[in-house]
Amino acid sequence: MTMPSHSPVPAAAPAPTASLRRSPFGTAPGGDAVGCWTLDSGAGVRAEVLDYGATLRALSVPDAAGRAGDVVLGLPSLADYTAEHPYLGAVVGRYANRIAHGRFTLDGREHQVPVNDRGHALHGGPDGFHRRVWRAAPADDNGPASAALRLTLHSPDGDMGFPGALDVEVVYRLTPAGTLSIDYRARSDRATHVNLTNHAYFNLAGAGSGDVLGHTLRLHAAGYLPVTAQAVPLGPVEPTAGTAFDFGRPRAIGERIGEPDRQLTDAGGYDHCWVLDAADPAGQPRPAARLSDPGSGRCLEVWTTEPGIQVYTGNALDGSLAGPAGRPYTRHGAVCLETQHYPDAPNRPGYPATVLRPGAFYRSRTEFRFPHLGAPSTAAAAADGSSAASRAGGPEAGPPDPSSPPEPRSLG
């Protein structure tokens, strides 16, 4: 009797293995060695993060046809980062966005911080966190399941005029599914204001490939903050419905950017904070934005625990900066999707609070997902295999977790 033959069952493909490695990137003006850390998903997505400014220098993502391309604007050398540049990929703080006239009153005491943007304080001042060398090391959970880099910084009492000694931790994490998350955490020994974000510039067609006016954008927001000619909020939240600021349904960034609206003409495009839909009750990240490039097929989703998102369309890019490949960054050559609390909140009692008091932790989480790669795109998968923020809402997030060890202080 002849037994039937059976074809051998093909072996399952090995699961992608994430990895983290460091390479030298030069020496900062103060003498500190700066490293460039490469986070590799093991499945085609790679991120580069610098010790200097905790900067996201590169993010290589395959397009719909599998061709890799860098989708964030970066610079060739450390010298380019230590020179003046528009915060490309940096973590900005102690207070992201603007504080009117650089002044605020906290617990009855007035504080003055340096003004560096048309008479107002922007992104923590001229020597903010984007100009510091952070202490970097693999995070405790770094391994094959996710490449994770932990950066810490100590900001002394009075730094850039802000009260309180502040210890900051930022963790970049890249999973095999291709999700890049950024977790922020901070604590202070005195009451202070904290508002942190990452200032990455995205062009899904590839850095230096031209403008992003043809990119399609959707925002999960029904309101935004109109601003003065100096980009300081006028006050109340305004509805977006029927205006050039209505991205409730996907549409091209350039569709209405040229309208004769002072909100657009003063800024030369979009540079505004949208008020995101209600936070997740459990404090998990929820959808904030979806950006798509029809040409490459790439799609980016931004999920966050923050109440707002500043959308900036690279209005001041003028071709004077170029990337590692030599391609110039021209006007509207990228869009920033900066998750954060609202600008000038220290002077606006009606805005979500940014006060951080002793004994409390500031916590925030933002995720960048690429659903065209098959990464999760549902709320149930918000954490994408890694721990989510323990609380949403920023500084007033409650008492510290007694099981969490204190962060070491950096010499940054």
Which residues are annotated as part of the binding site for beta-D-galactose?
Answer: 97-98, 199-201, 271
Of residues 120, 123, 154, 199, which has the active-site annotation?
A: 199
Q: Which of 299, 287, 294 is nearest to 61 (CA)?
A: 299
Give the span between the Cα atoms of 253 and 348, in whole angstroms: 29
**Contact criterion met (CB below 8 Å) for 265 and 313:** no
Q: Which residues pair with 355 in a beta bridge?
A: 193
Taking CA atoms, 260 is separated from 237, 240, 241, 348, in Å, by 21, 16, 17, 29
Q: Which of 403, 364, 368, 380 is nearest to 196 (CA)?
A: 364
Give the span between the Cα atoms of 276 and 69, in whole angstroms: 30
Give the span between the Cα atoms of 394 and 242, in whole angstroms: 31
Helix H or strand E encompassing 335: strand 335-340
338 is catalytic: yes
Give the span between the Cα atoms of 273 and 97, in whole angstroms: 9
Give the span between the Cα atoms of 355 and 367, in whole angstroms: 24
Q: Which residues pair with 184 in a beta bridge?
A: 170, 364
Query: For residue 400, what are its two tokens?
Result: 């510290």
Give the span between the Cα atoms of 313 and 211, in whole angstroms: 9
Q: Which residues contact 50 (CB under 8 A, 6 or more apart)?
A: 25, 34, 35, 36, 37, 57, 78, 81
Of residues 338, 341, 367, 372, which has the active-site annotation?
A: 338
**Contact criterion met (CB below 8 Å) for 4 and 28:** no
The single-letter code of the amino acid at 55 is T
Helix H or strand E encompassing 82: helix 78-82
Q: Summarize the annotated binding site as residue ranges.
A: 97-98, 199-201, 271
Q: Which residues contact 193 (CB under 8 A, 6 or more apart)?
A: 94, 95, 99, 104, 106, 162, 345, 346, 354, 355, 356, 395
255 is catalytic: no
Task: Give the total residue count for the chain.
Answer: 412
Query: For residue 247, what are its two tokens?
Result: 């991205």
Q: What are phi and psi of 88, to 5 degrees?
A: -55, 110
The single-letter code of the amino acid at 53 is G
By annotation, the residues acting in catalysis are: 199, 338
